[in-house]
Chains A and B, each alone.
Chain A
Amino acid sequence: MNLFPRSRSAAAALALAAVTAVLPNAQAASHREAPITALDHKADITDWFAFVSPERPDRVVMILNVDPFLEPSNGPNYFPFDPNVLYEMEVDNNHDGKPDITLQFRFKTEIRNPGLYTGFVGGLAGIPPITALDGTGSEGLSLRQSYSVTMVTKSGSRVLSDDQTLFAVPSNVGPRTMPNYNLLRAKGTYTLYNGMRVFAGTVADPFFIDLGGVFDSLNMRKAATAPVLSAAVDGDDHNNYGPNALAGFNVNTIAVEMPITMLTADGQMHGAGDKLAVIGTYGSTSRRRVNVLGERSEHQSWAQVQRMGNPLINEAIIGTGSKDRFSMDDPWKDAQFANFVLDPLVPRVLSTLGVPVPAAPRTDLLPLVQYMAPICLGCTQADAGPVADLLRLNMGIAPTEPQNQKRLGFIAGDAAGYPNGRRPVDDVFDISLRALAGILVDAKTYGTPLGDGVNMPSSTLDTAFPFLAPAYSGRDSVHQGPGQPGCANQPDGICPAN
């Protein structure tokens, strides 16, 4: 008997069994993200939004948020984008699950004053306050980032930003360095080809959730009446009844606004009943890859680190042993994960809490991952396309004015809200929990008003592009915790601890 393998490949297997035996357990769990992405903050997508603009209803806004839990005071470098990450927004407009339009964002960092001890100085030592991103008033902006925008379609790739330099807006350091931060930030919105607008920079994180309660095995605040909300708490879209874990934290954002006619397959606008009005979208981050056989093409030289279509799919539905593969694979191949959608774990957990839930298979959840009603009203069974985690948006449904938007979106009769696209105001935790409990099957039987009692972002959202609040100030901002201020309708405005 030949003990030794006859080839080096099998020899490699033998040698490397030893190597892999000493690797840490690949199944180590991380609830917040896919395990690998959790180690790569710069490439970590926190949220993905797509909605028809209430400001300009012939346009769509897409927002990619990355790099979670940025503490606003965390100098001296604050929060640059990673020049080694390729940030992308992808749009499928012919319902095959594959991107037809891709917007690519690449960042460059310059250190303009290498002698300075921090990235940003103003109103000190003869350096004027920072009031501009370039030229006069920008002297104290030592660490500065610029970026390019490229649009890739079937007909080729086109740099949309070649006639101007686009600067990313830095975080808000504080009032001495940046005395009028809102004005400074407004200079970071640029108009590109065909009236497109773009913004990149640090903003107040718009997400809102009682993370501590949710991830302590759904140990919600009873004082906020969570997880089964009282009518009063459930009906109040403008107050928080539990601590918002994201309050006081910044996040990095890339936002674009583009004409609907740049997004549809035929370049026309369509009514809500027409399937051509419906697109599927996602955001992704990629890094340079080592290619097995060496470089072949531009596409092959990037490895996707993460993607996001619907919120909370990877976090709440995909099994821990599949989260990385899910993050790195293409949405149109998601049939491999379909069982997680058809038989998710969360409803079984909810039923142990006494919440009625429908039995698997959960075909009612398929509209989140296929083109069908109620989002794609004009789609027949033949138009459903592959199972793919895309945020689907019917661009023929008119946007809701900001003052009339409902946090529960579509299930509260506000058809312009999640899961028809997603706006920053949409309470995706409450909506997703209810969808998983079966509200799409039958709102009477399975319509338990589940939620965390955190009903809105802690920052005041802009009602115009880029629709997010300016970054929290490093010097002056605070967070919110249990037993701390932040819940106006609770006794003394204190968020409940229990």
Chain B
Amino acid sequence: MKLRFLFAFMLAGAQLFALTPAEKAIQQATEKVSRQPENPEYYNQLAMAFARRARETSDVAFYTKAEETLRHSFQLAPDNFEGLKTQAWLELGRHEFAKARATAQKLNKIAPDDVSVYGYLVDANVELGNYDDALHAAQWMLDLRPGNTAGLVRAAYLRELHGNLDGALELMQMAYDSEPLSETEDRAWLLTQMAHLRVGRRTSAESGRIRSLGSERVSQLPLRPRDNGADSYRPESL
């Protein structure tokens, strides 16, 4: 009996340990929602957690869950700030870039100090081809919170679009160095992006193909030495 209990305990512990960051976030937010179902903030957290899980699993069902959860939040507090932020983020994920930009502009007017909103403005404007607006918003991210990861990654992407791969790598390295060790998925994602930048720097002819891979999730990437000159690339570093 005792042993079985210990075994069950260990199994539960191992399962908890095995949770991904998004799964943990879902678990925590679900608990909060069930404890305080009238608190819109907890629905916002749960919606964001579902959206993270969508990225982890490629399962669109999580986007639908995120949207449903967000509706609860808006029922409790129409147009609440954090809820609108999640909405902008989901709109970006659905490629509704004009909508996302409008939501982000609305948010930026309410609270010009919120750095993540500038990030949404960068993303939407890049996709809509408004590069000057994207640059402007990215610069505000770096000015308002020097060294913030979200700002550095956007700036790196804009540098890459301008053909400055070394400069992009420099910023990505800064972002990676400041990312907490516990954010394993973010760190993996940053390393993957850096790897693509290194490959792209070596063979710009290949970079288009590599870029198209960059959108796939980390576990699906072909992390092996290639025969195109990128053979010094070490997948072990991930």
Contact = CB atoms under 8 A, between A and B. Distances in A.
B93 A14 contact: yes
A294 B146 CA distance: 15
A320 B193 CA distance: 35
Given A16-B119, A20-B119, A303 B143 contact: yes
B189 to A, nearest CB: 5
Given A17-B89, A287-B146, A290-B155, A1 B60 contact: yes
A484 to B, nearest CB: 38
Interface string A20-33: 11110011000000
Given A20-B150, A36-B145, A289-B142, A8 B89 contact: no
Contacts of A325: 112-113, 140, 144
Nearest to A12: B153
Nearest to A27: B111
Interface in B95-122: 95, 110-116, 119-120, 122
A341 to B, nearest CB: 15
A352 interface: no
Contacts of A3: 54, 58-60, 63
Nearest to B110: A321
A335 interface: no
Nearest to A17: B89
A7 B154 CA distance: 12
Contacts of A289: 139, 142-143, 146
A344 B131 CA distance: 36
B51 A15 contact: no
A304 B139 CA distance: 12
Nearest to B93: A14
Contacts of A20: 115-116, 119, 150
A9 interface: yes
Contacts of B111: 26-27, 321-322
Contact of B157 (A9, A304, A322): A9
A19 B115 CA distance: 12
B135 interface: yes
Nearest to B134: A9
Given A27-B114, A289-B142, A13 B21 contact: no
Which of A23, A290, A303 has the most chain B CB atoms closer than 10 A to its own CB? A290
Nearest to B137: A292
A79 to B, nearest CB: 23
B52 A18 contact: yes
B87 to A, nearest CB: 12
A322 B112 contact: yes
B158 to A, nearest CB: 6
A9 B127 contact: yes
Contacts of B145: 36
Interface stretch (B30-38, B159-167, B223-231): B159-167
Contacts of B114: 26-27, 321
Interface residues of B, number: 68
Contacts of B154: 9, 12
Contact of A324 (B144, B189, B211): B144
B215 A21 contact: no
Interface string A458-493: 000000000000000000000000000000000000
Interface stretch (B2-10, B70-78, B178-186): B178-186
Contacts of A36: 144-145
Contacts of B140: 325
Q: How large is the interface on A (under 10, 10 to 19, 20 to 34, 35 or more residues)?
A: 35 or more
B153 A16 contact: yes
Contacts, number: 162
B84 interface: no
A117 interface: no
A32 B63 CA distance: 42
Interface in A322-338: 322-326, 328, 336
Nearest to B164: A294
Contact of B138 (A5, A292, A326): A292
A6 interface: yes
Q: Which one of A27, A294, A336 has the highest number of Cβ atoms from chain B below 10 Å of its Cβ?
A: A294
B206 interface: no
A10 B155 contact: no
B139 A292 contact: yes
Nearest to A302: B143
Contacts of B55: 14-15
Contacts of A4: 58, 215-217
A322 B112 CA distance: 5
Contacts of B185: 15, 18
Interface in A255-289: 287, 289
Interface string B172-203: 00000001100101100110010000000000
A428 to B, nearest CB: 25
A323 B54 CA distance: 35
A19 B142 contact: no
B215 A321 contact: no
B48 interface: yes
A293 interface: yes
B171 interface: yes
Interface string B199-238: 0000000000001001111000000000000000000000
A35 interface: yes
B186 to A, nearest CB: 5
A8 B211 contact: yes
A11 interface: yes
Q: Tell which of B21, B54, B127, B162 has the most Cβ of chain A within 10 Å.
A: B127
A291 B135 CA distance: 10
B152 to A, nearest CB: 8
A296 to B, nearest CB: 11
A4 B216 CA distance: 7
23 contacts: A3-B63, A4-B215, A11-B215, A12-B150, A13-B123, A14-B55, A14-B92, A15-B189, A17-B48, A18-B186, A21-B45, A26-B113, A35-B113, A36-B145, A290-B146, A292-B138, A292-B139, A293-B135, A294-B164, A294-B167, A303-B143, A322-B111, A336-B112
Interface of B: 21-22, 25, 45, 48, 51-52, 54-55, 58-60, 63, 89, 92-93, 95, 110-116, 119-120, 122-123, 126-127, 135, 138-140, 142-150, 152-155, 157-160, 162, 164, 167, 171, 179-180, 183, 185-186, 189-190, 193, 211, 214-217
